[in-house]
Structure 1
Amino acid sequence: MHIVILGCGRVGSTLAHTVQDMGHSVAVIDRDPGAFRRLRSSAAKSAVTGVGHDRDALVRAGIENAAAFAAVSSGDNSNIIAARVARETFGVRHVVARIYDPRRAEVYQRLGIATVGTVRWTADTILRRLLPEASGADAPLWRDPSGTLVLTEVPLTEAWVGAPVQRLETALQLRVAYLDRSGEIVLPRGDEPLRSGDVVHVLLRADARDRVLERLRPGPAAGPEGRSV
Structure 2
Amino acid sequence: MPEADLARPNGAATAGAPIVVPAPRPRRWLRFLLAGSLVAGASLVAAVLFGAGHVAEGSQGRIHTVDDVPETPIAMVLGAAAHPDGRPSAFLAARLDLAVELYERGAIRAVLVSGDNLARGNFQTTVMREYLVDRGIPAAQVVEDPAGFDTYDSCVRARDVFGVEQMVIVSQEYHLARAITICNEVGIDAVGVGDLTTQQRFPLVYLRGEAREWLANLKMEWDLFSRREPQQDPYDPTLLEAAGVAGN
TM interval, shorter chain, is 0.3 to 0.5
With normalisation by structure 1, the TM-score equals: 0.34
Q: Which has the higher strand share?
A: 1
Q: Which has the higher helix share?
A: 2
With normalisation by structure 2, the TM-score equals: 0.32
User: Based on CA coordinates, which of the two structures has the bigger radius of gyration?
Assistant: 2
